[in-house]
Amino acid sequence: MKQWFLSSLLLLGAVATGYAQFNYSSIDFPGGDLTTARGINNHGDIVGSYRITPPRHALLISDGNFIPLAPGTILATHFSEAFKSNDRGDVVGEFAGDDGFVHGFFFSNGALTTLDFPGASDTMATGINESGTVVGFWDIVDAFGNVIVDHGFTWKDGQFSQVDFPGAADTAVFGINARGDLVGGWDSGITSPFEHGFVISHKSATSFDVPGATVTQADDINASGDIAGAYIDAAGGEHGFLLAGTTFTTIDFPGAQLSAVWGINSAGQMVGNYRLVPNGLPHGFIAEPEEKQKPK
């Protein structure tokens, strides 16, 4: 998906560093040269992708075990990536089809369901909550393969609904929590160099930007309303962030030049990707909050 930008509608407080507040661990598939971590549920199960030889394939990490997702299906033979899982073990993501387009998937109880928004060129499923509501975005491409529009969606029990941030030209939904709050990114046009984060609840739709950022993208939201995502600063650096209340905290894997956070659970554990050098291959990581010191 494109990286967006634009002028801020809502500017929240200063950005703090997250180094002292979290313990970071790298996640690497044994024998692989690429690992991504996109989502973490409340059991601590992590989903993403791995690669030994191209292409990458959807991955589940549970109790320290690296488990390729849905063996014997197209997820194991074609490009595929898992984005989120809920506490029931349902997993959503995307895969490349033989038709040259990207399709969303819903994997539950050993059954794989393909998700294609009606009339879409590509469909990407990027989030799921405990009730089984799936979120994501879809696009339309022209005859030359250029994306001309993006829209968000929800899917539940076989029914799609379109989601657009009010006034946006393009919208992508990346996460949904247990109460149905949606987060993602929006812009004013497919060629816009700016992107804003957003949260849509049952009563309101709010845009926000990390202070000083040109791109802000909200990738997940937990039951407490904490939002995790990624931003690009004025110098072009890519960082992860945590938004808790009105406080932004930058999340950068130690020693990495590029970091992004993709998932957060109710315990505040976050997962994402980092690159040691800008053009390097991605590694996964988990950032776990340090336990608060007990009073003496």
Provide the residue ranges of all domains of the chain, joining segments of one domain with +.
15-289
- The percent of residues above 70 in pLDDT, for the chain, comes to 92
Assess whether pLDDT exceeds 60 at residue 13: no
- Residue 295, preceding peptide bond in cis (omega within 30° of 0): no
Bigger pLDDT: 5 or 18?
A: 18
Give mean pLDDT, residues 186-213: 95
Q: What is the pTM of this model?
A: 0.92
Of 289, 266, 288, 286, nearest in space to 274 by CA: 286
DSSP per residue, 157-193: TTEEEEE--TT-SEEEEEEE-TT--EEEEEESSTT-S
CATH no. of 15-289: 2.120.10.30
Query: Tens digits of per-residue pLDDT, 94-104?
Result: 999 999 999 99
Position 18 scores a pLDDT of: 56
Give mean pLDDT, residues 122-142: 98
Position 15 scores a pLDDT of: 52
Helix (H) or strand (E) holding 40: strand 34-40
Give mean pLDDT, residues 205-231: 98
Structure tokens at 207: 């845009």
Position 291 scores a pLDDT of: 73
Q: Which of 3-12, 185-194, 217-226 has the lowest mean pLDDT?
A: 3-12
Give mean pLDDT, residues 143-171: 97
Position 203 scores a pLDDT of: 83
Give mean pLDDT, residues 240-253: 97
d(CA 5, CA 142): 22
Average pLDDT, the chain: 92
Assess whether pLDDT exceeds 80 at residue 169: yes
Position 239 scores a pLDDT of: 97
Query: Tens digits of per-residue pLDDT, 47-78?
Result: 999 999 999 999 999 999 999 999 999 999 99
